[in-house]
Amino acid sequence: MLSPEELERYARHIVLREVGGPGQAALQSARVLVIGAGGLGAPVLMYLAAAGIGTLGVVDDDAVSLSNLQRQIIHATPDVGRPKVDSAAEKILVLNPHVTLRTHAVRLSAANAMALIGGYDLVVDGSDNFATRYLVSDACYLAGKILVAGALGVFDASLTTIRAHEKNANGELNPTYRCLFPEPPPPGTTPTCEEAGVLGALAGVLGSMMALEAIREIVGFGEGLVGRLVMIDARAMRFETLRYARDPSNPLNGEKPTIKDLNGHK
C-alpha cells in the first residue's frame, strides 16, 4: 500500500493511464539490481529511486575519483575517495527515503554473480567492459532474470533488453546477449574510457533510457526492447533501432547449449 506521502510523491506517475496506482504498486514491490555506480549506473540509480522502486541494489567495488565527476552525477566533490556504493546510497536515501537500498561493495565475479542476481527481479547492467557484460547476461539467463543492458562508446551508445529465459508470442525462445554479440572484440581493440574519453552528457542520456526501460518492463507498457537494439549516434544526434533474432547455435538457449553454469568465466 502507498502511504499518503507516497501518493503525493508519485502523483505524476499515478495520473498516467499507463502507470496508475497498479503500476506504481508494481514499482514499489520490484527488486532491481544495478551493476555499477558509474557513468551509466549513476542516472539509473537516481531515476529508479525517484520512481519508487521498492528495493534497489547496487554492485560496485570502486572508489570515487575526481575524474569520475564529469559524468557520474550521483557523486560529488566531497565524495572523492569514498566507496561508490556508500556515496550512491547517501544520495539515494536523501532523494527517496522510501527505497530499501542494498549495497554490494564487491566486484561481480563468477563466484558471486548467481547469489547476487538471485535476490532481484530485474538487472540493469551499466558495466564498462565485455567480460562483465557476458558474465551478467549469462547469469541472468541461468537465474531466469530480466536484463536491461546498455553500452557506452565515445560518441555512441546502445540499449537492449534480454529475456532469453522466456518465449515470445510465437512460442520461440527469445534471443540472448550472445545472439547479438557472439564473441567479444579482440583484446586491445576496444579502448577504455581513460584512453578514448567519454562524453558525460551521453552517459546521462543512455542511463536515463536504461532506467526508463526498466520501468517499462516492471509496469508493462509499450513495446519492449526484447530483440531490438537502440543505437545512439551523438555526433549526428541520431537514434536508430535494429532487430535481432535468436541464433540457434548460441551456447545458452540454442539447439545444443554448452553453457550450463558460470565456470567458463574468470
The DSSP output letter for 82 is S
Q: How many domains, the chain?
A: 1
The DSSP output letter for 156 is E
In this predicted structure, what is the pLDDT of residue 1?
A: 83
Decide if 196 is inside a domain.
no
Whether the pLDDT of residue 33 is over 80: the answer is yes
Model confidence, pTM: 0.95
- Average per-residue pLDDT in the chain? 95
Q: Which of 224, 218, 166, 222 is nearest to 29 (CA)?
A: 218
Decide if 156 is inside a domain.
yes
Whether the pLDDT of residue 41 is over 70: the answer is yes
Decide if 250 is inside a domain.
no
Lowest mean pLDDT: which of 119-123, 163-167, 195-199?
A: 195-199
Decide if 2 is inside a domain.
no
Q: Which of 245, 202, 217 is nearest to 40 (CA)?
A: 202
* Position 195 confidence tier, pLDDT thresholds 50, 70, 90: low
pLDDT tens-digit readout, 112-125: 999 999 999 999 99
In this predicted structure, what is the pLDDT of residue 177?
A: 97
For residue 89, what is the domain's CATH number? 3.40.50.720
Do the beta carbons of residue 37 and residue 72 sit within 8 Å?
Answer: yes
In this predicted structure, what is the pLDDT of residue 192?
A: 65
Decide if 263 is inside a domain.
no
pLDDT tens-digit readout, 57-89: 999 999 999 999 999 999 999 999 999 999 999
Range of the domain at 98: 12-181+201-243
Decide if 260 is inside a domain.
no
Whether the pLDDT of residue 2 is over 70: the answer is yes
Whether the pLDDT of residue 222 is over 80: the answer is yes
Decide if 157 is inside a domain.
yes
Do the beta carbons of residue 93 and residue 87 sit within 8 Å?
Answer: no
Q: Which of 217, 226, 263, 214 is nearest to 111 (CA)?
A: 263
Decide if 126 is inside a domain.
yes
In this predicted structure, what is the pLDDT of residue 188?
A: 67
In this predicted structure, what is the pLDDT of residue 193?
A: 64
